[in-house]
Chain A
Amino acid sequence: MTRYLLGQLLSFVVTLWAVLTLVFVGVRVLPGDAATVIGGIDTTPAQVQAIRRSLGLDRSLPQQYASYWSGLVRGDLGTSLRQHRSVDAILLQRLPVTATLAGLAFLLSLALGTALGLLAGLRPGGVADRAALALTTLGLALPEFWFGFLLILVFAVRVQWFPVVGLPSGGVLAAFPGFVLPAVTLALPRAAQIARLTRARVLDELGADYVRTARGKGATAAITGRHVAANALPGVLPLLALELGGLLTGTIVVEQVFGIPGLGLAILDAIGARDYPVVQGVAILAVTIYVLVNWLADLAQLLADPRLRVS
């Protein structure tokens, strides 16, 4: 068990190193010289040189790579080329917005997806099963932003319960209505995927011998259902981790549709403005969380399913 956990930890470290190195390489081959981006077209070659030196771009790649890692370890992600403040400050300002949106969407999709999946799996062919089938089919067929359009048309234009665009100002509570429609938009296709997998897992479990035995001994549907759920749900954890980890970048399009000023809009604006330190910063934060969440999910599955601990 300890050996296994150490192996897992090692593979986590290696994956994180590989992914962060890919980000470094990727940002270094981006088109356009950062120095000319900051200076504008009229910069003289001498000024370009000065800017390159201040950014450390005149040093060799190994030197840049070393300072990239020393920055990462110290938690210093550099300075924005456009906003004249540190990337850390930008991320710290944007992260809570995206985290709120992602968290809401995750909870919604978890509740809706597992409930629908359990109901559908325990009564195949029933109302919940048909609702789940319709939702999963649509959820797989349309890009999520399209659901956002529908929600805007119905709930922001027709009945005007929620804002069409942006977050209302005046604190967290005042901003909340602005989070509802984007969170639902994000949650729908993800709930569909969770429901699909939960249903399949429940159907697998229903065919198991222990269920037949329990029924033979006269267990009620509620009791069998509870046992089936306990055995089926850990199998859904890896998918949940993928969803949660992916949500941080999955919000990009939805933030754009609803004008939510989170990490997604930050990276889109930075791509548009060729503000590469910010692009790199958001990418580093997103992949780190993604790798971390997936790794934690493996551990959580180990805790939730005792059968995996034996081997």
Chain B
Amino acid sequence: MTRLRIGLVLAVLVVGATLLGPVLTPYDPIAPDYTAIYSPPSAAHPLGTDDLGRDVLARSLAGGRVSLTVALSATALALCLGVAVGITSAGLGGLGDTVLVRVFDAVLAFPGFLLVLLVVTILGGGALQTVLAMGVAGAPIYFRLARSFTRSELRTDYVLAGEALGATRTRLLWRHALPNFAGAIWVQAASTAATFLLVEASLSYLGLGVPLPTPSWGNVLQDARSYLTQQPWAALGPGFFLAAASLAFQFLSDGLRDRLDRRR
């Protein structure tokens, strides 16, 4: 229970802070201020300023809005795609099922980061493209989960009873089987969100994800690398928020799993 609570509190704090960013700090995250270049942390700039005098806190919060949106959208995409195809595949059975399993296995046989990198290269950089790439790369896990859960649900007595009562296959799959394993999907989703935050950061760090000037945790860190020795604060600030956010989702995932285990 404690992990779940820590995760929830952290998630609310980080998401809340990024959403309230414009209220919490008076500075523009993009406009330069040449009078305040490389300021150390002070009352005016709690996390210092970067090479263009921009407030690191303001940039971390603005970057967080973008990074969180990208990571959570990609998680939602991977989840919807994987679960929908997974349940359908298990329901289909036969040749269709075999083909789908092979396709997702092939995607899974790729080293994950290389796959995302290649898809982003094909689609071109950008926030939407990053979401699509991570969504595709993340879908196979949900496909596997949903397919194997659905297959074991289909063997239960209540499905047999439902069929005897004349319930349609579609209804049994989506209204009865899916809610029975939704918990396990949420556990995976929280963990995927934590991972995707790091993947987005890496992609944008390489300049292949969210392009500047729109700040994201990854491209703010990319920027910070070039003057790391002059102003380490510019790398520490966004790193702190990124760590808090991905820890929050990891804790949420662990906490949810513990709760599910206890209920069984």
Chain A residues proximal to chain B, CB less than 8 Å: 14-15, 18-19, 22-23, 26, 29-31, 137-138, 140-143, 145-146, 149, 152-153, 157, 164, 245-246, 248-250, 252-253, 256-257, 267-268, 271, 279, 283, 286-287, 290-291, 294
- Name the 4 nearest CB pairs between A and B, nearest first: A18-B106, A249-B114, A141-B243, A141-B247
Which of these, B117, B205, B229, B239, contacts A142 with CB under 8 Å? B239
Give chain B residues whose Cβ lies under 8 Å from the Cβ of A279: 118, 121
User: B183-227: contact bitstring with A at CB < 8 Å (1 yes, 0 no)?
Assistant: 000000000001000100110011010000000001001001100
Taking a contact as CB atoms under 8 Å apart, the answer to whether A248 and B121 are in contact is no
Q: Closest chain A residue to B107 by CB distance?
A: A22
Q: Is the CB of A18 within 8 A of B247?
A: no
* B235 & A256 in contact (Cβ 8 Å cutoff): no
In the docked arrangement, what's the CA distance between A31 and B123, Å?
8
> A residues within 8 A CB of B228?
149, 152-153
Given contacts A31-B122, A149-B225, A249-B111, 17 further A-B contacts (CB under 8 A): A15-B106, A15-B109, A18-B102, A22-B110, A26-B118, A140-B194, A141-B194, A141-B244, A142-B242, A143-B221, A146-B239, A249-B114, A249-B117, A252-B117, A279-B118, A283-B114, A294-B109
Does B250 have its Cβ within 8 Å of any Cβ on chain A? yes
Q: A30-B121, A30-B122 are in contact. Are A140 and B109 (CB under 8 A)?
A: no
Please report B residues at the A interface, Cβ cutoff 8 Å: 102, 105-107, 109-114, 117-119, 121-122, 124, 194, 198, 201-202, 205-206, 208, 218, 221, 224-225, 228-229, 232, 235, 239, 242-244, 246-247, 250
Which residues of the partner chain B approach A245 to less than 8 Å between Cβ atoms? Answer: 111
Q: Do most interface residues of chain A lie in helix, strand or loop, or is the interface mixed?
A: helix
Q: Which residues in B have their C-beta under 8 angstroms from that of A250? A: 111, 113
Assuming the A-B contacts A138-B243, A249-B113, are A149 and B235 also in contact, with contact meaning beta carbons closer than 8 angstroms in the complex? yes
Q: Nearest chain B CB to A267's CB is how many angstroms away?
A: 8
Complex CA distance for A164 and B206, rounded to whole angstroms: 18
For B111, give its contact among A140, A141, A246 (CB under 8 Å). A246
User: CB-CB < 8 A to A286: which residues of B?
Assistant: 111, 114
Least distance between B191 CB and chain A CB atoms (Å): 9
A164 to B226, CA, bound (A): 12
Output the least CB separation between A125 and chain B (Å).
16
Tell me the complex Cα distance, A117–B79, Å: 32
Shortest B139–chain A CB gap in Å is: 14
Chain A residue nearest to B119 (CB atoms) is A26
Whether A248 contacts B113 in the complex (CB less than 8 A), given A15-B106, A26-B122, A149-B228, comes out as no
